[in-house]
Chain A
Amino acid sequence: MMKSLPVVFARSPIAAALVAALLVLSGSFARAEDSGSAASPVEEFSKQLEDFQKSVPDLNKTIQDSAGTIDSITDVEKARAEIDKLRESVSTLLGAVSDNGPVSQLGAKALDHIHDKLRTLSQETRFKPEERQYLIGQWRKLQVETESATKELDDARAQFVGLLQILQENEDFIGELLEIRQAEKAIEVIRSLTRDIRDASTQLNKLIGGIKPPGA
């Protein structure tokens, strides 16, 4: 025959204490499980708010930086300055190879020296005819090579002259091309900024969406 529980507990106080302890422990385990599976709405909101607040100063800085960048890349003077810089670079190179520039003068000096040597050797009496012929042959070889090197110099000079002339004769058109390039850069900056603002907006929407009044 089955005995009722109060009767059992009344007869055995130890069993009653064990059951009570089991009930208390099981209750506290259940609470611990709840808090582990999901944060409370307050905690969730705090976390989202914190994330959003952290991202706001970054976004402000990005906006300021982008505005500065766009200001600088839509500056017409900057395009002009770029052409000037380009012209200066070509001019420096042209300076070296111009007819009165240091490199050209070196070539001319080298050729003058070879011509002097050939003239002297042709009148030289210290050597046997075959020795003299050999030396003249060597200097002639050098003459051909030096002339070929100075010819390359002439080509480089012509190229730099052409480049500099293109730069100065098409200055306005090149300026416009540079401005187009800068405008393209501005679009990139705006696109990147738009992406950042959209991300912030999504974050803000999540934050607002997460606010649920009790009982809602």
Chain B
Amino acid sequence: MHRALGLLASAIIVGAAIAACRPMGDVGYVEIKTVPAAPLTQTTLYLDSTKLAPIKKGSAILRQRVGTRKLQADGFAGTLAPLCDIVVKKNRITTVTISVLERPPRCQCRYSGTDAATEHACVS
């Protein structure tokens, strides 16, 4: 009896863990490249308000929910300096290159939007 209850509890915990790990909704990817490529990028970057881990060897691929994200960098006096908008589409990669030598860093989109809504945004 105790054994069966134990098994049931384990199954519920494992199921809940799997459900928690599953990404919610549609996802796409943001590829961030930094130039010049360094073993570890010193500039701190943010996607919306989420701080990104330092970018290793000049490239990172990040899974993101579908939508438009704001790429930002640490600015003056603790404020965030917006660099560019990134449009994330389902199962697609949007690539952006950041020139980290400039102050503030500059965004260079692989593809830029063509319509009014995404004119200054990076698209896939």
Q: Are A and B a genuine interacting pair, yes or no?
A: yes
What residues of chain A have their CB less than 8 Å away from a CB belonging to chain B? 84, 87-88, 90-91, 94-95, 98-102, 157, 161, 164-165, 168
Q: Report if B60 contacts A (CB, 8 A).
A: yes
Count contacts between A and B, CB distance < 8 Å.
Answer: 42
Q: In the complex, which residues of chain B have a beta carbon less than 8 angstroms from the beta carbon of A88?
A: 91
Of chain A, the residue at the smallest CB distance from B55 is A99
Please tell me if the beta carbons of B124 and A168 are within 8 angstroms of each other in the complex.
yes
Q: Report if B53 contacts A (CB, 8 A).
A: yes
Please tell me if the beta carbons of B60 and A91 are within 8 angstroms of each other in the complex.
no
Majority-rule SS of A interface residues: helix
Q: Report if B23 contacts A (CB, 8 A).
A: yes
Cα separation A168 to B28 with both chains bound (whole Å):
12
Write out, one digit per residue, whether chain B residues 38-82 have a CB within 8 A of any chain A CB (1) or not (0). Answer: 000000000000000100000011110000000000000000000
Please tell me if the beta carbons of A161 and B23 are within 8 angstroms of each other in the complex.
no
Of chain B, the residue at the smallest CB distance from A164 is B93
Majority-rule SS of B interface residues: strand
| A102, A157, A168, most chain B CB atoms within 10 A | A168
Please tell me if the beta carbons of A161 and B91 are within 8 angstroms of each other in the complex.
no
Please tell me if the beta carbons of B91 and A164 are within 8 angstroms of each other in the complex.
yes
Cα separation A20 to B12 with both chains bound (whole Å):
99
Please tell me if the beta carbons of B21 and A164 are within 8 angstroms of each other in the complex.
no
Known contacts A91-B27, A91-B29, A99-B53, A164 near B92 by CB under 8 Å: yes
In the complex, which of the residues A84, A90, A100, A168 contacts B63, with contact meaning CB atoms closer than 8 Å? A100
Question: How many Å from the CB of A166 to the closest CB on chain B?
Answer: 11
Given contacts A91-B28, A98-B29, 19 further A-B contacts (CB under 8 A): A87-B91, A88-B91, A90-B91, A94-B29, A95-B23, A95-B27, A95-B63, A98-B63, A99-B53, A100-B62, A101-B63, A102-B21, A157-B61, A161-B29, A161-B31, A161-B93, A164-B93, A165-B95, A168-B124
Question: How many Å from the CB of B98 to the closest CB on chain A?
Answer: 15
Cα separation A179 to B43 with both chains bound (whole Å):
46
Q: Offer 20 A-B interface pairs, CB within 8 angstroms, sorted by A.
A: A87-B92, A91-B27, A91-B28, A91-B29, A91-B91, A94-B63, A95-B23, A95-B27, A95-B63, A98-B63, A99-B53, A99-B61, A100-B63, A161-B29, A161-B31, A161-B93, A164-B29, A164-B92, A164-B93, A168-B124
Write out, one digit per residue, whether chain B residues 1-31 have a CB within 8 A of any chain A CB (1) or not (0). Answer: 0000000000000000000010100011101
Q: In the complex, which residues of chain A have a beta carbon less than 8 angstroms from the beta carbon of B124?
A: 168
Of chain A, the residue at the smallest CB distance from B95 is A165
A-B CB proximity, top 3 nearest: A91-B91, A98-B63, A87-B91
Question: How many Å from the CB of B123 to the closest CB on chain A?
Answer: 11
Q: In the complex, which residues of chain A have a beta carbon less than 8 angstroms from the beta carbon of B60?
A: 99
